[in-house]
Amino acid sequence: MDVTVGAIDCGTNSIRLLIAEPTPDGLRDVHREMRIVRLGQGVDATGEFAPEALARTEAALSDYVDLMHGHGVDKVRMVATSAARDAGNRDEFFAMTARLLGTVSAGAVAEVITGTEEAELSFRGAVGELDSAAAPFVVVDLGGGSTELVLGGGPGHPGVTASFSADIGCVRLKERCLHSDPPTETEIAAARAVVRERLAEALQAVPVDGAHTWVGVAGTFTTLAALAHRLPVYDPAAIHLSRTAFSDLLPVCAELISMTGPERSALGPMHEGRADVIPGGAIIVEELARVMAQRAGLDELVVSEHDILDGIALSIT
C-alpha cells in the first residue's frame, strides 16, 4: 500500500503544507498550499506569540488537518522554525499543534528544529533536481525571522558541508527597522547595516567563495523572480529552477523598496500577505547578491520552488 505523507513548515510569516507520495524518482505532489498567518507578529519586540497570531495559525492548521484526513495521510511531520524558537509562550502553541496533529498520527506535535537542522532540510529539498555538475551549491532560505545559508554538494561531499542560521528575515527586519511606507533612507541604511552585520557572521561559518551556483528558496526569492521575469501572475511552474541575472534582479529589489504598500500589493505576482514585508527581504537579497558577486564571481540566481517543505517530506518517507 502506498504511503502518503504530510509535511508542514510553520515559519515566522507563513504556514505551508505538502501532501506527497514517495516514488522511485522522489516525491509526487498531491497537494501543496501556503497561507500567510504571521505567527511571528511582534515576537522580536515582546518575546511572545500574539493571541491573534496563534488564532490565525490554529485556523490554518485545522484546515490542513482536514486536507490530510481527506487524502489519507499516513505520516505527518510539522516543523516550526525561527518564531517558535524565540517565543516565551510557545507551550500554548505546542499544545494546539498536538491536539490537531494527533488526529492524523498519534503523538504528532510540532518540532522546533535547530538552525542546523533547518539548513539541512532546506538544502535537501532545494538541490534534489539540480545537476550535480553545478555544485558546490549555496542554498539560501530567506524566511520571516531567520535566513539560512547552506553550502554543499561539492566533490566527495554530496550533502551539507557548512551552514549558518542568521537572525535576520523579512518580518524581523520590518519590525526592527522599516517603520515607514515606503521606508525612509535612514531606515533603509539601518536595515542594511543590520543585514551586513549578520551576514558577516554567517560568512565566517559558510565559505561561499568556491560556490558555483546560488539557489534561493522561499517566498521572497520566488516573488522577486516572478517580478524580474515580468509574469502577470504568480506561476510556480515558470519559477521553479528559473534563472535570474543580477542585472534583472537588483532593479526589482530597488523598485520594491521604494514603492508604497498599495503599489506593491497591486503587482500581479505579489501575495497579499507579503507586500508589507518584502522590502526587508529585498534588502537582504541585495546584500546577498553583492556578496555572491564579490566572493564567488556569480552573476545569477537560481530559484527553487522546492525547499524545506520537500526536505521535511523526504525525511519521513
Please tell me whether residues 138 and 280 are part of one structural domain: yes
Q: Which three cell numbers stand for residue 275?
A: 507586500
Please tell me whether residues 55 and 141 are part of one structural domain: no
pLDDT digits (tens, 9 = 90+) for 70-123: 999 989 999 987 667 778 898 999 999 999 999 999 889 999 887 778 778 889
Mean pLDDT, to the nearest integer, of 151-175? Answer: 85
CB 53 within 8 A of CB 61: no
Q: Residue 313: inside a domain, yes or no?
A: no
Q: Residue 315: inside a domain, yes or no?
A: no
Please tell me whether residues 148 and 291 are part of one structural domain: yes
Please tell me whether residues 234 and 98 are part of one structural domain: no
CATH at residue 264:
3.30.420.150
Q: Residue 122: inside a domain, yes or no?
A: no
Answer with the residue of higher pLDDT: 117 or 163. 163
User: What is the maximal distance between C-alpha atoms in the chain?
Assistant: 60
Please tell me whether residues 106 and 134 are part of one structural domain: no
Answer with the residue of higher pLDDT: 12 or 203. 203
Q: Residue 284: inside a domain, yes or no?
A: yes
Structural domain span for residue 106: 5-112
155, pLDDT greater than 80 = no
Please tell me whether residues 134 and 216 are part of one structural domain: yes
Confidence tier at 24 by pLDDT (50, 70, 90)? confident
Residue 2: the pLDDT is 67
CB 120 within 8 A of CB 198: no
- If one counts the domains in the chain, the total is 2
**Mean pLDDT score across all residues of the chain:** 91
Give the whole-angstrom CA distance, residue 39 versus residue 45: 13
Give the whole-angstrom CA distance, residue 242 versus residue 137: 15
Say which residues have a Cβ less than 8 Å from residue 162's Cβ, sequence separation at least 6: 150, 151, 152, 205, 206, 207
Of 282, 169, 306, 173, the closest CA to residue 228 belongs to: 282
Please tell me whether residues 189 and 65 are part of one structural domain: no
Please tell me whether residues 135 and 98 are part of one structural domain: no
pLDDT digits (tens, 9 = 90+) for 29-45: 999 999 989 898 888 78
Q: Residue 120: inside a domain, yes or no?
A: no
Q: Residue 58: inside a domain, yes or no?
A: yes
The residue from 112, 138, 155 where one domain ends is 112
Please tell me whether residues 282 and 144 are part of one structural domain: yes
Q: Residue 118: inside a domain, yes or no?
A: no
CATH at residue 77:
3.30.420.40
The residue from 56, 84, 112 where one domain ends is 112
pLDDT digits (tens, 9 = 90+) for 215-241: 999 889 999 999 999 999 999 999 999
Q: Residue 82: inside a domain, yes or no?
A: yes
The mean-pLDDT minimum among 55-64, 127-136, 185-194, 196-205 falls in 127-136
DSSP string, 8-77: EEE-SSEEEEEEEEEETTEEEEEEEEEEE--TTTTHHHHSS--HHHHHHHHHHHHHHHHHHHHTT--EEE
Residue 157: the pLDDT is 64
Confidence tier at 1 by pLDDT (50, 70, 90)? very low
Mean pLDDT, to the nearest integer, of 194-198? Answer: 96
The residue from 112, 146, 163 where one domain ends is 112
Please tell me whether residues 256 and 152 are part of one structural domain: yes
Please tell me whether residues 145 and 254 are part of one structural domain: yes
25, pLDDT greater than 80 = no
Please tell me whether residues 174 and 248 are part of one structural domain: yes
pLDDT digits (tens, 9 = 90+) for 271-313: 888 899 999 999 999 999 999 999 999 999 999 998 889 999 9
